[in-house]
Structure 1
Amino acid sequence: MKIILLVLTLIGVCTNIQAKDRLDVYEDFDIGTELVSMTMVKVDPNMEDMYLAGLQQSWAKAVQIQKDMGYIKDWKIYASELPLTGDFNMLLVVTYEKLSDLEPSKKKYEAFMKKWGEDNQTMSEELSAGYPKIRTLTGEYMLREIILK
């Protein structure tokens, strides 16, 4: 037993094992360049299908156009398996390649609006006007990945 303790002590001293109480950026971890925007939504009971139908015609259609144009990297919708628990039961997620993708751009806006069109804009405004009756936005977050080394 004494030999095992002696060996472990020697290993610890020889390898200078130290536990850090905090990590240093770029030394111990990197910060990713992608940004993820997450909108938390609390959809009223039995209204998920109605809300999804509206999203399909408005939000999902718009972010897919943005993805096709290269303005965003990806988008997703997540629904809770336990929709009656917690502060939200649906997530609307948009992934951006880099922070500069969020910068205002008249050129990008006009190109998007040309593809989106007036008919989609009118329809989207009409649909979204009814959303407060079936859902509540409970939070929005902009996140970056932390990459531990």
Structure 2
Amino acid sequence: MKKLLLLPLLFTMFAAAEIYEDFTPSQEPMELTVVAVQPNYVETYLTNLNRTWVRAMNVQKKLGYVEDFNVWTSLSVADSPNVWITVQYKDLASMQATEEKSKAVEAELEKMYGDNEVELEEISKGYEEIRKMIAHHIIYRVDFKK
């Protein structure tokens, strides 16, 4: 019996990982937003997200402000949350909003899609009726040594 009690202690002694020795956190932050969309409105939410947020993210990617972005959904409609949104940045400094970046994105959006600010404002207002923001995190990938 005493030997069985010692086994977990042995495993924890050998399992202790050292940062930068056994694993390294990535220097590229990822913004993760977790959303619960009402089950009957997921398709509507994604369609509207494509007309607003995705357009803006495509412009930011084109301008080099973000590395990549994704929208994820679950197959089960009953689960909450059911939408995850990620934005990958080169580094923490890239996440910093500036007036210059904002104006450049606005100008590019207008050039690509025209001035439909009233329509986009209506879409954005509608989000609050069908979704609930669950969490927002800045996360880092962990790279394990082989």
If the TM-score is normalised by the length of the shorter chain, which range does it land in? 0.7 to 0.9
Q: Secondary structure at the match of 1:112?
A: helix
| 1:140–1:105 distance in 2 versus 1, CA, 3 Å | same
- Return the offset for 1:21: 4.5
Q: Structure 2: which amino acid aligns with 1:139? A: A
Instruction: Work out the CA distance in 2 between the residues paired with 1:84 and 1:108.
Output: 39
How does 1:1-149 map onto structure 2 within 5 Å?
19-85=13-79, 87-117=80-110, 119-149=115-145
TM-score (norm. length: structure 2): 0.81
Q: Count matched residues.
A: 131
| 1:120–1:97 distance in 2 versus 1, CA, 3 Å | farther
Structure 2 residues without counterparts, runs of 5 or longer: 1-12
The answer on whether the counterparts of 1:39 and 1:141 sit within 8 Å (CA) in structure 2 is: yes
| 1:144–1:120 distance in 2 versus 1, CA, 3 Å | farther
Q: Secondary structure at the match of 1:70?
A: coil
Q: Secondary structure at the match of 1:20?
A: helix
Q: Secondary structure at the match of 2:88?
A: strand
TM-score (norm. length: structure 1): 0.79
**CA RMSD across the alignment:** 1.9
Q: Structure 2: which amino acid aligns with 1:35? A: P
The answer on whether the counterparts of 1:39 and 1:139 sit within 8 Å (CA) in structure 2 is: yes
Instruction: Work out the CA distance in 1 between the residues paired with 2:130 and 2:98.
Output: 33
Flag the structure with larger Rg.
1
Instruction: Work out the CA distance in 2 between the residues paired with 1:129 and 1:104.
Output: 22
Q: Secondary structure at the match of 2:126?
A: helix
Quote the sequence identity (%): 28
The answer on whether the counterparts of 1:38 and 1:91 sit within 8 Å (CA) in structure 2 is: yes
Q: Deviations over 1:67-117 (max 9, x none)?
A: 1111101111111011212x3001111111111101232222221121123
